[in-house]
């Protein structure tokens, strides 16, 4: 299984990111990511064992 560890940005910073993403999407006709505002803590990695809390 492939995993990634991120930290989601909420509040004013998350809202700012979302509005900027929409503006760029419309201006440049770019594909829009459905991911919320975040920063990556650990890049995608494979792990075959069980993950628990």
Q: What is the pLDDT of residue 23?
A: 93
Tokens describing residue 49? 């064992």
Q: What is the pLDDT of residue 11?
A: 97
What stretches in the chain show pLDDT beneath 70?
A: 53
Q: Where are the alpha helices (DSSP H) in 1-53?
A: 11-28
Q: Characterize the bridge pairing of strands 2-8 and 38-46.
A: antiparallel
Q: What is the pLDDT of residue 30?
A: 86
pTM comes to 0.64
């Amino acid at each position: 299984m492939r995993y990634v560890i991120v930290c989601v940005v909420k509040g004013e910073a998350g809202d700012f990111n979302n509005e900027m993403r929409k503006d760029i999407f419309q201006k440049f006709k770019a594909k829009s990511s459905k991911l919320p505002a975040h920063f990556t803590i650990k890049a995608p990695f494979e792990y075959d064992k069980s993950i628990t809390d």
